[in-house]
Amino acid sequence: MGVVQIGHELAVLIVEDQPFIAADLEEVARELGATLVGSAAHLATALALLETAHWDAVMLDLHLANGVLAYPLAERLRNRRIPFAFLTAADDEIEPAYRGVRVLRKPFGEAELEECLRALIAQVPQPAVAQQAA
């Protein structure tokens, strides 16, 4: 896939406990123009990153290490109006309160990943990186 810039700087948080998937997500986010990419494999780390930095969009694995579900983070993202998508192999397990959230079904290809990130980015009013610089 070639570099396809989206036009402004972005801060994207990747919450994924599988290192190879996380690395692919980070690579595509950077190709789409993300200048700040954070990564967390555990819910506690992701929650801490949410409190210490501003994020434009979040890719959120529904099932994290040790069977932990990502709903506490999803609730905070929703309250802060930060666009996010669930990553999961079993989208039929998503709680009814989150049925309208975008889902990237595993396994996914680069085209699906790029389309999902572009959809999230399109929901960003003003990138967090630009807000932090101001």
pLDDT in tens, 3-62: 334 445 688 999 999 999 999 999 988 888 888 889 999 999 999 999 998 899 999 999
Tokens representing residue 110 in the block: 């680069």
- What is the distance of C-alpha 60 from the center of its chain? 5
**Domains located in the chain, CATH noted:** 10-128 (3.40.50.2300)
d(CA 107, CA 129) in angstroms, rounded, equals 30
pLDDT digit string, tens, across residues 23-34: 999 998 888 888
d(CA 124, CA 97) in angstroms, rounded, equals 22
What is the per-residue pLDDT for 115?
Answer: 92
Beta-bridge partners for 34: 10
For the chain, the distance separating the N- and C-terminal CA atoms, rounded to the nearest angstrom, is 33
